[in-house]
Amino acid sequence: MAVYTDINEVDLKAFLAEYDAGELLSYKGIAEGVENTNFLLHTSKQPLILTLYEKRVDRNDLPFFLGLMHHLSERGLSCPLPLPRKDGELLGELSGRPAALISFLEGMWLRKPEAQHCREVGKALAGMHVAGEGFDLTRPNALSLEGWQTLWAKSEARADEVETGLEEEIGAELDFLAAHWPGDLPAGVIHADLFPDNVFFLGDDLSGLIDFYFACNDFLVYDLSICLNAWCFEKDGAYNITKGKAMIEGYLSVRPLSAEEIAALPVLCRGSALRFFLTRLYDWLTTPEGALVVKKDPLEYLKKLRFHRAVTNASEYGLIS
């Protein structure tokens, strides 16, 4: 559940008065999500999402996230559009938190995505990469090689509580990735968290992408590796090559991949599996029992990481050369 900050009607009405958003009819907290507090608002004009940015989001990054949604939306990507206030600002404040109003996106996320949906996600991801060209703000990826080391330093001593031998295994993995991470690949704005819960569908049609709060600048194909990890494994831990093939074909139908990008895919998949393992491990070890947020299982990503370690060629992900 993710309603960390409560709001009252008087403050909300005062906040809304800064926008040309109509009269407030109703509002309710949204239980889903991990990072921020979200409310669904109905006004006399339109449904809206109100997001209050919580502590883990750096206030200095908000112009990047909100500006990016605006940029992508203007270029035809279906994603939430931040509403400007009457003074032109995209950001306000409510209950002591930075807060924004964004447009409501129709659709719901798929609990059991199939290969055809993975194809749509591949297309939409490449569409986002193309639409992101020309966005003039930049944000380095705080969750790449350096950030992993920082996170690991906070969890390393207790890692073996989760599985014996982890301290050694992850230490070696970090060394491997530091030595083999690609130096130069096509880069741009990536979503960096395009998991099933951040992609909406209406029936079998993809209706839009949400949750740009990990977006940053990095290798474009790294984003594809994140999606292969998030969408193409089954509950039993097996990689589903049919889904992977569909996702890669969908991506390639919009944006080609160079030989260097293809060759780098196995190591990038290792990196993205490690990235989600590390954030989950940190949360696993530090979230107090009884907290209102659902802790995600780090071992799911350890299994994926071990799978990628055995991959020698991108064709094992379903890529047909």
Ligand X SMILES: N[C@@H](CCOP(=O)(O)O)C(=O)O
Residues that bind ligand X in the complex, under the rule CB under 6 A: 33-35, 193, 195, 197-198, 211, 276, 279-280, 296
Question: Residues with Cβ < 8 Å from 177, sequence gap 6 or more?
Answer: 145, 148, 267, 270, 271, 274
Q: Residue 251 or 276: which CB sits closer to ligand X?
A: 276
CB of 255 to ligand ADP, least distance (A): 25
272 binds, among ligand ADP, ligand X, none (CB under 5 to 8 A by kind): none
Task: Report what 210 binds from ligand X, ligand ADP, none; CB cut-off 5-8 Å by kind.
Answer: ligand ADP
- Footprint of ligand ADP (CB under 6 A): 2, 30, 32-36, 38, 49, 80, 102, 104-105, 197-198, 210-211, 213
Q: How far is the CB of 30 from ligand X (least distance, A)?
A: 11
Q: Show the DSSP H helices in 17-114 as ranges.
A: 62-74
Rounded least distance, CB 48 to ligand ADP, Å: 8
Q: Closest approach of Cβ 214 to ligand ADP, in Å? A: 9
> With CB cut-offs between 5 and 8 Å by kind, which of ligand ADP, ligand X, none does residue 276 bind?
ligand X
Instruction: Characterize 222-257 residue by residue with b for buried, 16 or more Cβ atoms within 10 angstroms of its Cβ, and e for exposed.
Output: bbbbbbbbbbbbeeeeebbeebbbbbbbbbbeebeb
CB count in 10 Å sphere of residue 15: 20
Q: 3-class DSSP state for residue 150? A: helix
Q: Choosing among ligand X, ligand ADP, none, which partner's interface includes residue 170 (Cβ < 5 to 8 Å by kind)?
A: none
Q: Which does 36 bind (CB under 5 to 8 A by kind): ligand ADP, ligand X, none?
A: ligand ADP
How far, CA to CA in Å, does 136 sit from each of 124, 133, 166?
21, 9, 41
